[in-house]
Amino acid sequence: MKTIAISGKGGTGKSTLATLIIRWLRDKGLGSILAVDADSNVNLNELLGVKLKETIGSIREEMKTMSSNLPAGMNKAQFLEYKIQASLVETPDFDLIAMGRPEGPGCYCYANNLLREILKCLSQNYEYVVIDNEAGMEHLSRRTVQKIDYLLIVSDPCPRGIQTSGKISRLLKELDTRVDEKLLIINRLKDSLPPSILKTIQEENLTLLGTIPEDEMLLETDQKGLPIWPVLRSTKSYMALDTLMRKLSL
């Protein structure tokens, strides 16, 4: 199993990139894919053009509030596992699970501990796990993800964006999740990379995997609120991503 996680500042196109990567993995026919939407403003499913059933967050809340009213004879571990397995959105191309909102107040040690075990077990059934994270990487810090082969940090082509990416990269060191390789991707690049950006990348101690050009066609589709999944293969971004992905050993 290989895990690819995508992170970056809000609005840099993380979910779009995740969608592109899933499309690419699928086209290469490399094996089964589990897509994980770990952003609390769940939207990956819209880009992928599928409907969500439940999120892990809502299942966890349900379990918390029903405490003593579980289906007769079922204990919480079984209930949680059943609900999570049933919440998976299944398509011929990929399966999708959404983490949903992080928790509210109260004690979640028990629920999170169970959750970790269940997700670990579930993800082992796939050749690829693609995680669309939020910038704070909440789920990584809670160790709901065990190990990451590639962390792709997405940034706008501006120095501030690169600095934020540097922060995200450093933040990882404090987390328990193992990350094998951290790579920077610059998204929505209009022309070529200005030297000032290259300098910032160096200062922030980041490794640039490559760039993805601004893509009017994708933007338009997205703005119309249409899923980008069906049109991906004919986009500029997809071509650019292809070059990038070939650099990884997947």
List interacting residues with another protein (CB under 8 A).
Answer: 1-2, 32, 67-68, 71-78, 81-82, 85-86, 90-92, 95, 105-107, 109-111, 113, 117, 121-122, 124-125, 147, 149, 178, 249
Distance between first and last Cα of the chain: 10
Q: How far is the CB of 21 from another protein (least distance, A)?
A: 18
The least distance separating another protein from the CB of residue 122, rounded to whole angstroms, comes to 6
The nearest distance, CB 137 to another protein, in angstroms, is 20
Closest distance of CB 70 from another protein, Å:
10
106 vs 195, which CB is nearer to another protein?
106
CB of 6 to another protein, least distance (A): 20
Helix/strand/coil (H, E, C) string of 15-80? HHHHHHHHHHHHHHCCCCEEEEEECCCCCHHHHHCCCCCCCHHHHHHHHHHHCCCCCCCCCHHHHH
Q: Are 180 and 148 in contact (CB under 8 A)?
A: yes
Torsion of CA 152, 34, 93, 180, to 10 degrees: 30
Residue found by looking up tokens 């949903």 in the block: 100
Count of CB atoms situated within 10 Å of the CB of 189: 18
Of residues 141, 38, 142, 51, the one with CA closest to residue 91: 51
Which lies closer to another protein via its Cβ, residue 5 or residue 189?
5
Q: Which is nearer to another protein, 121 or 198 (CB)?
A: 121
Q: Which amino acid is at 50?
A: V
Shortest gap between Cβ of 245 and another protein (angstroms)? 15
- Alpha carbons 176 and 52: distance in angstroms, whole number: 30
Closest CB to another protein among residues 50, 212: 50
Comparison of 124 and 202: residue with beta carbon closer to another protein = 124
Residue whose CB is less far from another protein, 223 or 249 = 249
